[in-house]
């Protein structure tokens, strides 16, 4: 069983990821569950897992129906992976997975997905010196941080840490999703029908 700290980090990481998902579902086309649709591709933001840090996944469906003749799921995935690896926000893992579904017709239909897994330690999200400095700024009325009510934390430092977890997971996930959107946009130009 996880401790209270992990449960609170999980709760506030979920809030940050849900905030981002809500923005994308308003900006683009909302789909069932934790998904949205943009330029012919379905994207998903998964729930975080907290253990020695915060881990979450984002994924996108490979646009199989739009692939040029002879272009495979593996080829598309390889190009997306290559694009992602050239950036500073390299995920902990980049994988492709397939789901095979029975359709109303007599044949099974395979759907391919690109899955990026990101992992952030506490030190990636905040540090003690930053907390002390911000607490000093709050006490002196110099802080720009707007802390929303956080009933689970009884100290100002605790509230600030949970606020930073929520905001930094949101910001990192937004950067990561923007990268996946851009990767798909670039790869589609080369490997998909116009």
DSSP string, 22-39: HHHHHHSEE-SSSEEEET
Report which secondary-structure segment, H or E, holds 2. Answer: none
CA 74 centroid distance within chain: 22
Q: Residue 163 is part of which domain span?
A: 4-191
End-to-end CA distance of the chain: 51
Tell me, what's the pLDDT at 1?
Answer: 41
> pLDDT by residue (tens digit) across 103-127?
566 566 678 999 999 999 999 999 9
How many structural domains compose the chain? 1
Where the chain has pLDDT below 70, the residues are 1-2, 101-109
């Amino acid at each position: 069983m996880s401790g209270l700290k992990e449960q609170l980090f999980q709760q506030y990481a979920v809030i940050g990821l849900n905030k981002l998902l809500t923005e994308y579902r308003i900006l683009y086309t909302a789909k069932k569950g934790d998904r949205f649709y943009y330029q012919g591709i379905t994207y998903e933001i998964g729930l975080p897992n907290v253990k020695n840090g915060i881990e979450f996944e984002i994924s996108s469906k490979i646009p199989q129906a739009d692939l040029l003749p002879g272009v495979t799921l593996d080829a598309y995935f390889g190009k997306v992976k290559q694009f992602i690896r050239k950036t500073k926000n390299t995920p902990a893992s980049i994988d492709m997975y397939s789901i095979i579904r029975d359709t109303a017709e007599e044949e099974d239909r395979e759907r391919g997905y690109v899955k990026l897994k990101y992992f952030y330690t506490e030190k990636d999200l905040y540090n003690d010196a930053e907390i002390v400095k911000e607490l000093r700024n709050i006490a002196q009325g110099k802080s720009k941080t707007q802390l929303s009510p956080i009933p689970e934390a009884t100290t100002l430092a605790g509230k600030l840490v949970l606020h930073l977890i929520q905001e930094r997971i949101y910001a990192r996930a937004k950067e990561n999703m923007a990268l996946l959107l851009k990767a798909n946009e670039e790869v589609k130009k080369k490997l998909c029908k116009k």
